[in-house]
């Protein structure tokens, strides 16, 4: 479907505000789950790897809350891309800062709520605040093509025609009714020809069967219509499923999209653990609580908001290649993760947290990169696939890092592994996006076939 031209303003700014608060309320608490992680360690008394599953599932896949967050994120990004074109980077940067501001506020808010109401009371209040997302969703109006207005309610008599979309020849209602009449008559004939006797005596018809046999003509027509409708509906749904699978295969034939899929999976496996585990990293590095002038998670949240806004503005600059900009953020993030084991003080951990937070702001340009890769028409489909595997990476990353700690009693190897994953994804995406591949794939002109003429030797 082709949408009408993006207005680049107007009601789009209402969409931006609504999307900002949607991500604020939806992702503020899951991203600040590091505050709750320490409480869960003390409450459950389990290892870091097993306890990390709680926080990772809250921000990844597998729980009802994370399913809702995934649907909301895709909806806010898709509708914003529809309303903005020339200012798309700025709009995406503004709405994505909602989750970062939420991280900063919820990190402090959840500490206060735990102090006054306990862990259970904190979670209840956070859930109640999330209900305000309903008000934000009521403000979102999707753009529609002028040649394709919103669908009207279909009249009952036109339902069958609505679903008869196949070229194959279908039996008419009259033909189907004749088949139904023949089935009734053949059944009566079989019952009348049964031999007499104790075993072969004709079984008396039930009251329901007698009623069906005496039903008027409109009832039979209604039965045939319902059967015909269900058959057409099943065929239509099967065709939609086949089309979806075909479109998915065509997306993965795009080498940049395939590399983007691998990069986002590896980035979330390695890049998400700091926001969950950085507080415990500071405690494991013997950093005293009185030295924590500001929570490391709050630093990550502030710098993520700054990074999303600045990177979004940079994406609107014409001479900036957003794909290479995204690759640069991945590579620098991998190097910063590898430097975490070298940090042994609050100052160095705070600096690395700020760097990682700023680079994690690349989420604001990720939809921009996806749009440039597959086009606005396929954005919702492609972005849904990418977000599923991003959630899978969020779910796997913290438990893997926690298991490394339980195995070695240090976070060093864990963050080396995280940095390696992000670096690998960045270099794969870089290689796939190099222009030399397009040059190599260009078809060379076919050489002109050489024709040989042979002269038959004479016997003379």
What does the alpha-carbon distance between residue 270 and residue 360 come to, in Å, rounded to a whole number? 12
Greater pLDDT, 376 or 451 = 376
Alpha carbons 295 and 351: distance in angstroms, whole number: 12
Q: What is the mean pLDDT of residues 198-207?
A: 49
Structure confidence at residue 175 (pLDDT): 55
40 with 49: CB under 8 angstroms? no
* pLDDT exceeds 90 at position 424: yes
pLDDT at 54: 67
Task: Quickly list DSSP for 195-250.
Answer: PPSTTTSPPPPPHHHHHHHT--HHHHHHHHHHHHHHHHHHHHHHHHHHHHHHHHHH
Spans of all domains in the chain:
1-142, 223-253, 254-435
Rounded Cα–Cα distance for residues 71 and 63 (Å): 13
Percent of the chain with pLDDT over 90: 14
Measured distance CA(224)–CA(214) in Å, rounded: 16
Homologous superfamily (CATH) for 254-435: MFS general substrate transporter like domains (1.20.1250.20)
Contacts of 104 (CB under 8 A, 6+ apart): 298, 301, 302, 305
Tell me which of 181 and 239 has the higher pLDDT. 239
Nearest to 32 by CA among 24, 22, 42, 43: 24
Q: Which of the two residues, 349 and 160, has the higher pLDDT score?
A: 349
Give Dmax over CA atoms of the chain in angstroms: 118
Among the ranges given (17-21, 282-286, 305-309, 364-368), the one the predictor scored with the smallest mean pLDDT: 282-286
Q: Tokens for 454, please give them.
A: 């042979």
When pLDDT is averaged across residues 315-331 and rounded to a whole number, the result is 90
**What tens digit of pLDDT does each residue of 134-171 get?**
998 888 887 765 555 545 545 545 544 444 444 444 44
pLDDT in tens, 90-141: 888 888 888 888 888 888 888 888 888 888 888 899 889 989 999 988 888 8
pTM of the model: 0.64
- What is the residue-averaged pLDDT of the chain? 75
Pairwise pLDDT comparison (126 vs 282), residue with the higher score: 126
């Amino acid at each position: 479907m082709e949408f009408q031209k993006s207005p680049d303003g107007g009601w789009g700014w209402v969409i931006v505000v609504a999307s900002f608060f949607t991500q604020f309320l939806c992702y503020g608490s899951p991203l600040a789950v590091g505050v709750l992680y320490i409480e869960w360690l003390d409450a459950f008394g389990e290892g870091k790897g097993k306890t990390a599953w709680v926080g990772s599932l809250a921000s990844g896949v597998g729980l009802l809350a994370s399913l809702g967050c995934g649907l909301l994120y895709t909806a806010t990004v898709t509708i914003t891309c529809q309303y903005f074109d020339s200012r798309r980077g700025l709009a995406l940067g503004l709405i994505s800062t909602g989750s970062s501001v939420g991280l900063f506020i919820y990190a402090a808010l959840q500490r206060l709520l735990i102090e006054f109401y306990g862990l259970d009371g904190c979670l209840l209040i956070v859930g109640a605040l999330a209900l305000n997302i309903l008000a934000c969703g009521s403000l979102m109006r999707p753009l529609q093509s002028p040649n394709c207005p919103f669908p009207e309610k279909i009249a009952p008599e036109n339902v069958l025609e609505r679903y008869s979309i196949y070229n194959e020849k279908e039996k008419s209602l009259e033909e189907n009714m004749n088949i139904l009449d023949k089935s009734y008559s053949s059944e009566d004939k079989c019952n009348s020809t049964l031999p007499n006797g104790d075993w072969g005596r004709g079984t008396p018809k039930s009251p329901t069967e007698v009623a069906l046999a005496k039903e008027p003509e409109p009832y039979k027509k209604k039965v045939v219509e319902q059967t015909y409708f269900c058959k057409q509906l099943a065929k239509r749904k099967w065709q939609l499923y086949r089309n979806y699978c075909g479109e998915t295969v065509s997306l993965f034939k795009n080498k940049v999209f395939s590399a983007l899929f691998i990069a986002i999976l590896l980035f979330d496996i390695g890049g998400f653990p700091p926001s969950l585990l950085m507080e415990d990293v500071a405690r494991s590095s013997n950093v005293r609580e009185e030295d924590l002038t500001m929570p490391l998670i709050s630093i990550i949240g502030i710098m993520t908001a700054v990074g999303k806004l600045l990177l979004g503005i940079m994406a609107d600059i014409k001479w900036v290649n957003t794909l290479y900009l995204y690759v640069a953020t991945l590579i620098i993030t991998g190097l910063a993760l590898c430097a975490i084991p070298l940090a042994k003080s609050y100052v160095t951990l705070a600096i690395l947290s700020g760097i990682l937070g700023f680079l994690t702001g690349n989420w604001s340009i990720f939809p921009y990169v996806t749009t440039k890769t597959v086009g606005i028409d396929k954005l919702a489909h492609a972005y849904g696939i990418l977000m599923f595997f991003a959630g899978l990476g969020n779910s796997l990353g913290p438990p893997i890092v926690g298991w490394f700690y339980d195995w070695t009693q240090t976070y060093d190897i864990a963050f080396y592994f995280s940095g390696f994953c992000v670096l690998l994804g960045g270099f794969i995406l870089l290689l796939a996006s190099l222009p030399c591949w397009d040059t190599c794939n260009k078809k060379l002109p076919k050489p002109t076939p050489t024709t040989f003429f042979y002269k038959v030797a004479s016997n003379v």
